[in-house]
Amino acid sequence: MMCVGLDFGTTNSAIGVASDDGTVRLASFPYGAAFTETFRSILYFAADRRDARGKLVAVAGPGAIEAYLEADGSGRLVQSLKSYLADRGFLATNIFHKTHTAVELLSLLLKDLRAKAEESLGPLGSRIVVGRPVRFAHADTADDEAFAIERLGTALANAGFTEVTFEYEPVAAAYYYESTLDRDETVLVADFGGGTSDFSIVEVGPSRRKSARRILANDGVALAGDSLDAKVLHHVVAPVLGMGTSYRTMFGKELPVPVWIYAKLRRWHHLSFLKTPKNMELFDEIASGASDPRPIRGLQHVLDNDLGYHLYRAVEHAKVALSKSTTTTFLFEDSPLKVEAEVSRAAFESWIADEVGAMSECVDRVLATAKLDASAIDRVFLTGGSSFVPAVRRLFDERFGVEKIRTGGEMVSVATGLALRARDT
Ligand SMILES: Nc1ncnc2c1ncn2[C@@H]1O[C@H](COP(=O)(O)OP(=O)(O)OP(=O)(O)O)[C@@H](O)[C@H]1O
Ligand SMILES: [Mg+2]
């Protein structure tokens, strides 16, 4: 029997297969001249890439970015799909004049992920354990959560996974962490990803494997890497593109440049929605009525040349650099537009204070649900890409003491744990 685990992440996905002895093999995907175990949860459509029947063909994963960059930005990228699973407003989107439902997009992504994973793992069968966040982004009610799970389940079935078990992502990470233990522990697992931050308190260890493992509490919040990126964009890029300035309308009235423009800009994949003829007219009006037209022309340059992905890369690059150094140079250049700024970690931390505060409150909640004091937690296991952010780590250092903190498997812990979980069921 195949024991397959799938971590469908907002930014990165991974697939693992557990063998009888408890080792997990992760699918590896070609990327440039090398291989990677992370599959970007991204879909790319090229206008001219169609099958024999004229249907658009999509590419997912590492190949999607390569194809997009090769095409010089002329195609459409769909990213962070998972963040919209619970959003009833997001039913379909138009790509090259054809409507694609959310489930269709997700099915394309999962089918491609499956096919590419099978190249290194062999046939995966129909049975799978799939991760889910404790709280989906955009989910306000239990019904919204169920809606997200239903859409994910339909797309998984379309990709040939018809026997699906869902497991909380931080619980899966706990399985991964447990495999390293030689004694029992009460562990707080914190998984900081691209779309959500998820927390579980679990009793794990050698004597608890299988039956005696107890989950004491789960909680989560839809704030993670994407939200941190949005803050960098807001503070570093948006002001250079005219946020906070004003212009004189055709009728001589002084008006602020609308802030909704920059709210859209904060999610780079919303940029294509900004590019309507009506908006372009508005930008022209702003440019002719502004004392300095260059900022809004800069924004138009980004939209005209589909630079959203490149802009987002520069933002993420700066954020990642600030995990290592206390200062970095943000640089985005596409002549004539140039955004260059020194960004300090201290400034970044002041911008993300609300997000880190909300994560901290979620930790309070999960402890309260488990009816445990911080002192009753033996270990804290931090994982997920955004756990590299120093301000996020500090939250736990301060509350639990550095000696209790363990980190690791940032990009693979959830997929590995899900495969182990598949072996248990
Ligand atoms: N060194 C780093 N410093 C800061 N952020 C980082 C670093 N490395 C990766 N990230 C961020 O981590 C996020 C991706 O992490 P991960 O792959 O764990 O998320 P995911 O599993 O796709 O998302 P989710 O679990 O929310 O669905 C991205 O926002 C990325 O920018
Ligand atoms: Mg994740």
172 domain residue, yes or no: no
The pLDDT score that the predictor gives to residue 89 is: 83
Residue 246: how many other CB atoms lie within 10 Å: 13
258 domain residue, yes or no: yes
SS3 label, residue 167: strand
The pLDDT score that the predictor gives to residue 211 is: 65
The pLDDT score that the predictor gives to residue 213 is: 79
Ligand positioned closest to the Cα atom of 393: 1
The pLDDT score that the predictor gives to residue 38 is: 95
257 domain residue, yes or no: yes
Question: 256 vs 87, 244, 249, 296, 357, CA distance in Å?
Answer: 31, 7, 10, 12, 31
Ligand positioned closest to the Cα atom of 355: 1
Which residues does 283 contact at the CB level (< 8 Å), separation at least 6? 296, 299, 300
380 domain residue, yes or no: no
Q: pLDDT tens track of the chain, all 425 residues?
A: 899 999 999 999 999 999 999 999 999 999 888 999 999 999 998 877 777 887 778 899 988 988 888 887 678 888 889 999 999 887 777 777 788 899 999 999 999 999 999 999 999 999 999 999 999 999 999 999 999 999 999 999 999 999 999 999 999 999 999 999 999 999 999 999 999 999 999 999 988 876 667 999 999 999 999 999 999 999 999 999 999 999 999 899 999 999 999 988 877 667 777 888 899 999 999 999 999 999 999 999 999 888 888 899 999 999 999 999 999 999 999 999 999 999 999 999 999 999 999 999 999 999 999 999 999 999 999 999 999 999 999 999 999 999 999 999 999 999 999 999 999 87
The pLDDT score that the predictor gives to residue 76 is: 83
401 domain residue, yes or no: no
341 domain residue, yes or no: yes
Q: How many domains are there within the chain?
A: 1
Ligand 1, residues 6, 7, 12: which to mutate, most atoms within 8 A of Cβ? Answer: 12
Would the CA dihedral through 258, 259, 265, 267 be positive or negative?
negative
Q: Tell me which H or E stretch contains 176.
A: helix 169-178
Q: Name the DSSP letter for residue 5.
A: E
Q: Token pair for residue 211?
A: 């039956």
269 domain residue, yes or no: yes
CB of 83 closer than 6 angstroms to any ligand 1 atom? no
- Looking at ligand 1, which atom is closest to the CA of residue 324? 1
Q: Distance from the CA of 228 to the center of ligand 1, in angstroms?
A: 10
The pLDDT score that the predictor gives to residue 269 is: 64
200 domain residue, yes or no: no
Q: What is the pTM of this model?
A: 0.94
Q: Distance from the CA of 173 to the center of ligand 2, in angstroms?
A: 9
Pairing outcome for strands 39-40 and 163-168: unpaired
CB of 10 closer than 6 angstroms to any ligand 1 atom? yes
SS3 label, residue 255: strand
Q: Give residue 319's domain range.
A: 226-350
